[in-house]
Amino acid sequence: MLNKNVFLKKYFLMTRSEENYLKTIFHLGGGDSKSITTNAIAEQMETKPSSVTDMAKKLAEKGLVNYVKYQGVSLTNSGVKTALSIIRKHRLWEVFLVEKLDFSWDEVHEVAEQLEHIKSEKLIDKIDELLNFPKYDPHGDPIPTKDGKFQERDKKLLSEMAINATGVCVGVKDSSVPFLKFLDKNKIALGNSIKVLDKEDFDNSLRIQLEGKEIRISHQIASNLYVKKND
């Protein structure tokens, strides 16, 4: 009885901390068999490199990451699968909070960080169904399907669009609370139509048409907004 639980725990059950590490490694690109350094992971997670080393060993033991001393970690197939299932939960909960509970897009991340660790396959599948199987979360990020398929959208940073090009705002690169609140205040939202009117060479700021109205936008903003170009 005790031995069986120790076995399950060691090789199958995921702790919250382990899940957070997998998610971070995935977001840093470790899903494409690219090696991520312990330092990079530590910085992202606001923890210490030595803690990351400890966890790397544990995750390697579970077959979730490839870890070679001094060479960093990458996700195994199993690790990718697990990371995607957590990201799927995170983004579905974010949609739920916005669509069903009237949260604003700057409030959802913090709560989703907790909800993503709830263990119930039925729960998340039912939430998915309730939301009518959404493809994107409130920040425009794609939601992996139940079987881990990922549909990245064809999008471009607004700052990289040519003059006179038109499109629709579909996502944010920076999804920090201050940036999202800034966009709200300036009435910039996902789904808005955009046309690039002019670029200012001096400071790289843009003059754009947003839902018909002409506004000026700094480079900082333009380089954090994703646009889907019209054909």
DSSP at 32: G
DSSP lists the bridge partners of residue 136 as 142
Site residues (vs its own copies, CB under 8 A): 97, 100-103, 107, 110-111, 114-115, 118-120, 122-123, 126-127, 130
Per rule CB under 5 A, is residue 109 in the interface with Mn ion?
yes
Tell me the angle at which helices 16-27 and 38-45 cross, rounded to the nearest 10 degrees: 110
Q: DSSP 3-state assignment of 160? A: helix
Size of the site for DNA (CB under 7 A): 28
Integer Cα distance of 155 and 177 in angstroms? 22
Cβ 156 to DNA shortest distance, Å: 31
Residue with smaller CB distance to DNA, 2 or 162: 2
What's the angle, vertex CA 118, arms to CA 144 and CA 93, rounded to 5? 50
User: What residues numbered 87-126 form the site for DNA, per CB under 7 A?
Assistant: none
Cβ 95 to Mn ion shortest distance, Å: 9
Choose the one of its own copies, DNA, Mn ion, none that binds residue 29, judging by a C-beta under 5 to 8 angstroms depending on kind.
none
Q: How many residues does the chain have?
A: 231
Q: Minimal CA–CA distance to 168: which of 187, 140, 188, 194?
A: 194
Cβ 114 to its own copies shortest distance, Å: 5
Token code pair at residue 144 = 């992996």
Per rule CB under 7 A, is residue 33 in the interface with DNA?
no
- Determine which residue in the list 137, 142, 172, 222 makes contact with Mn ion, applying CB under 5 A: 137
Integer Cα distance of 210 and 194 in angstroms? 5
Per rule CB under 7 A, is residue 10 in the interface with DNA?
yes
DSSP at 13: P
- Determine which residue in the list 4, 69, 149, 185 makes contact with DNA, applying CB under 7 A: 69
Residue with smaller CB distance to Mn ion, 27 or 219: 27
- Asked whether the beta carbons of 192 and 210 are under 8 A apart, the reply is yes
Choose the one of DNA, Mn ion, its own copies, none that binds residue 98, judging by a C-beta under 5 to 8 angstroms depending on kind.
none
Stretch that binds Mn ion, among 5-13, 38-46, 75-83, 135-143 (CB under 5 A): 135-143
Q: DSSP 3-state assignment of 227? A: strand
Per rule CB under 5 A, is residue 89 in the interface with Mn ion?
no
